[in-house]
Structure 1
Amino acid sequence: MIKRKPSILTTKDISVNEAQPSVLICMRVDDDILDFTGHFPNHPLLPGVTQVDWAIHYAKHYLNAHSNFKGMEVLKFQEPILPNMEIELELKWDIEKSKLYFTYRSNKGDTVSNHASGRIVLGA
């Protein structure tokens, strides 16, 4: 079986209002995910395109976001996501503007590392 998605550890609804539902997904980025293959053989890291794909996939699943990619407005990759890391993916869906806000981060003790963030425009 080809593995393309991480292991979901927990999810938490963090919505503050109905017009902007949000969710926090804790996941383990397993080392056997296909996307690591060939993305630097001696130093694998999770490709940015995979991170965007996961954000859209989980926004559709948990937040009922639109399914068609219309474009990116903002995208920052700050720190690599490595095999077997435990990370959080925070998603916020702005229904009115059809915009998905995402942030990948990890915690090590008192230190929070931001790995990637962005704003994706989605359409029906």
Structure 2
Amino acid sequence: MEQRKPTITNVVVEDNQATLTMKVDASILDFRGHFTHFPLLPGVSQIDWALFYAIEHLNTPPLFKGMEVIKFQEPILPNATVELSLVWDDEKQKLAFKYSSQAADRLVVHSSGKMKLGE
């Protein structure tokens, strides 16, 4: 079976927030063809994973209703270890997400955004 999701190494869930530490394995199918000489994790994969893990760990509604804000700042490369932060606002039915990692003494934000969800 083809690998579509990262290897999760840690999960912390508190109320309406979840933080997942993951290894973005080089064997993930989404790296193929994106791009041949410089593979990076597609933005659509990052959005898909944020929604998938929000449903799994925060019990958010499963229906994607659109993006409100999204920024792709630094590529996520094969075998990177990243942290996915999820915050669910039940009243507004909005999920905020952020992918980040540590590089030496600084925090690198790879991408962030907000999506509208519903039933």
Asked if TM exceeds 0.5, the reply is: yes
- How far the C-alpha of 1:30 sits from its partner, in A, is 0.1
Give the TM-score normalised by the residue count of structure 2.
Answer: 0.98
Counterpart of 2:11? 11
Q: Does 1:50 align with 2:58?
A: no
Amino acid at match of 1:7: T
- How far the C-alpha of 1:14 sits from its partner, in A, is 3.9
Counterpart of 2:72? 77
In 1, Cα distance between the equivalents of 2:53 and 2:12? 13
Question: What is the root-mean-square deviation in Å for CA atoms of aligned residues?
Answer: 0.7
**Unaligned 5+ runs, structure 1:** 16-20
Identity of aligned residues (%): 52
Amino acid at match of 2:76: I
Q: Would you say how many aligned residue pairs link Structure 1 and Structure 2?
A: 119
In 1, Cα distance between the equivalents of 2:23 and 2:14? 20
SS of the equivalent of 1:32 reads coil
Moved over 2 A (4+): none
- How far the C-alpha of 1:111 sits from its partner, in A, is 1.1
In 2, Cα distance between the equivalents of 1:77 and 1:14? 26
Counterpart of 1:18? none
Structure 1 residues 66-105: aligned runs within 5 Å = 66-105=61-100
